[in-house]
Each structure stands twice: as C-alpha cells, then as structure tokens.
A and B are shown apart, each in its own frame.
Chain A
Amino acid sequence: MSEIRSKVLIVEDEADIRRFVRLALESEGHEVFEADCIKRGLIEAGTRRPELVILDLGLPDGDGVDFIRDLRGWSTCPVIVLSARSNETDKIAALDAGADDYLVKPFGAGELLARIRAQFRRRLQQAAVNEPLIRFGDVCIDLTRRVVERKGEPLHLTPIEYRLLTYLAAQPDRVVTHRQLLKVVWGPGHAEDTHYVRVHMANLRKKIEDDASMPRHVITEAGIGYRFVLGV
C-alpha cells in the first residue's frame, strides 16, 4: 500500500542471502545495491547514498559495529542488522552504535519487508516534526502540554515514566537498548543499573497497556531492550 521507491544497500557476505534480499526488495520496487564486505559497503554507502542499510554483523573483514559508527558520522539513514541468535552482546553493541532494528537469521522475506516498511514509516513520521500529539491505542501524549491521556482521562505518570514513554514513543519501531534509556533518563552514571529501567517500565506498562503481561505497545526484546509499536 505504501509504495515508496527507495535505494537500499545490503552488506552481506553470503551470496544466496544477498540474492533473496534483492529479490524481495525488488518485488517491492526498491533499488538494491550489494556489497560483500565492510570496505566495499562503505564505498557503496558513500557513492549511492542509500535510504536504508541492511547489514550482516558477521562479515569477513571486520566488525559490523565499526561500519555503523562510520556511517553514523555522515548519515542518519535507518540500519537493520542481521545476526545469529544468541549473540545478544553483538546486537546490543550494534544498536548502541546507532542501528535501528535487528533481524535474527533465518528470517523470512515477509518479516524483512515488514521491518523495512516500519523504518520508512518512522522516517515519514519524523519528517512531520511539528506534530505535538502522539497517539497509540487509546492513549494520547500531548508533548507541548506534557499531558498523557487514556480514553480521554488524564493519566498520572511519574516524571521518570513520562520521560521513558516520550523517548520511546518518539521513535516507534526502533529497538532501544536498556543502556540508551538509562543514559537518557538517569544520565551516563547509571549505565549498569538496568533494573531501574525494568522496574519503571513495568509500572508504565501497567498504566498504558490493557494487559501488562501481553503488551501491545511497549514490547520487550529479551536481553536487549524495548521496541515501541504504535499499533494500528
């Protein structure tokens, strides 16, 4: 439905995966560029100016995290990383470095396309910066008045909960790590106290979710952080 033609760069050393990603993306009408190593990837990114990068973390000539840091020096385009399961530390490092989302191998074409669409949608939303209201489910955040309402009733949030919610809601579909949240809300001195985030996030959930144990908006990415979903 949302037909946005964009330039996408895929950096992946496995030719078969590149091929299927290209097939999938081209079926959506995107323009795809390929690279099989970090060096090549950075050159492609510099010359082609892609609007989205899909990056494998296990590349032969180095760490994908370095690629993200380099890229973030001059580009804010969304980055989706591909990684094997049980490599949480790699994923967290990539997300902290500036990646926006991750996909665990093996993944299906449908999943990939959905994630890509979400990233593009987020960029569109952020383009409309002057929108002071964020709505999801039956909750509405008024950023100018600093008021949160649910079903039209004002919702009482602590300052910490408000800060967590606005930070997450401002960037939907993006995976935010515990460390990022700690840094933003508590400051760099508390980067290791991840239970702060968890405790307050649990309280926040009870206030904004219908069922806190089956959340629809603040989704837990086990061992990594949270993803905020606006929902439909």
Chain B
Amino acid sequence: MSVLTFSGWIESAPAWIIKLPEGLQTFIFQLYQTFVYANRWTFFAEGLKITFIVTICALAIGIIIGVIIAMVRTLYESYTVNKPPVILRAFNKIAELYLTIIRGTPMMVQLLIMGFVVMQPKTETGSIICGVITLGINSGAYVAEIVRSGLMSIPKGQTEAGRSLGFNYIQTMWYIVIPQAIKNILPALGNEMITLLKDTSLVSVIALRDVTKQAQNIVSKTYSAMVPYISLALIYLVIVIVITKLLDRLEKRLRKSEH
C-alpha cells in the first residue's frame, strides 16, 4: 500500500474539512491515518484481544499459584510450637524461594529469560503461552502475599470450628476461611489485576503483538506518535476505569451478604 501523505489526503478530503483551520486539519488527518486508513483500527482490536487473553489467563494462573503458596505458608506458620512435618517444611522453602526470586527481579527480565532462554517460542500461540505463563508466575507471587494477609485476617477459631466438624484443612479453607478472606482482600486483589493488565504492555519484548506493540506498529507506519500513543493510554485508562467500577460493585454486593 502506498504511503499516505497529508497533501494527498487533503486533495480528496470532503469540503467541510478544507474549510477548517489548518491545525485541526492536521489533527483529523492524524486520526484518519491512525484508525481509518488501511483499516488500522483492526491493529488496536487485534492487540486488545492479545492483551485481554494474556491478562485473564495470567490472572487465573496467578490466583491458583497465589492461593496454593499462601495456603502452604499459612499452614507452615500455624505450627507455632511443634515442628512442621518435613514435606511441609520443604514446600515452604520452595515457596519462599519462589517469592524471593520473582519479587526480586524485574518483570521485563523475567519475560526476556522465559522468552529467549527457557521457552523460546517459535509461533504466535507459543508466544502467547510463554507470556501467559511468565505473567502468571509473576502475578502469583504478589497474589500469594495478598491471599496470605487475607487468610491471616480470619480468626483461628474459624479454622478450629471447621476442623472440629470434620472438615480437612483444604475443605476448611475452601468453605470457611477463603470466602471470608476474599472480602478482605478484594481491594488489594483488584489492584493486582490492574497492575497485571498494565504489565501486559511488556510482552512485546517476546514478540507478542499486544495493544501496545500494535500502537508502536502504527507509529512506525505513520511516523507520527501523538495520536496512536495518546489513544493507547486512553484505551488502558478506560479498561481500568471499567474494572474498578465492576470491582466496586462486587465489593458492595459481598459486603451486603454479611452483617
């Protein structure tokens, strides 16, 4: 496709645009070449799809890892006087190591290592999986500490009541402790979700075409950065605002069920 120039565009532009001041004309031209020309809005749409897939899948992995790690750590810490069993001590060491490494290195570096050393994906799907796993593992470390603080906020008597009825540790957690803890940690978990969404903008380093990468692609075609990047920021902003509103609503509904 030939390169679109301003002079070429203005010649064929409708009459009402030609009447506008020059600054406005330029702005409309930039909007046009960012979104309309050669169906470039589909770049954003495609990128958003990747961004959403990576965010949602990574969040799911992060929550699963986070809950498991938090339960291991909480169970380990529940042995205040007696020594915990060997297996638990081993798991707890692994959990601590995981938390230290993940929280001690930048996400970008983790992506580079997973993308170019560990997994080296060759296909687009491979890259998506690599991105999801890396972000999921990263998020899990933060979710683990959030969940742990939530589990610790529930009085010990709740666990004892559950255990005395005959529930095992996992069942007690699942039916009794976690439902109460979720209410306490929802704000922090929402924060983590928003952070994760924004962190997906880093996956471009492993050649994933998320919405940030696509905005860069458009800039490389139009040689004009303002409209694509401001639009990109607005896209993230709108998504975050929507998520925040949804979480607010969920939190209110959960609070209502308890008195």
The finding on whether chains A and B are genuine partners in a shared complex, rather than unrelated, reads no
* Chain B residues close to A by CB (< 8 Å): none
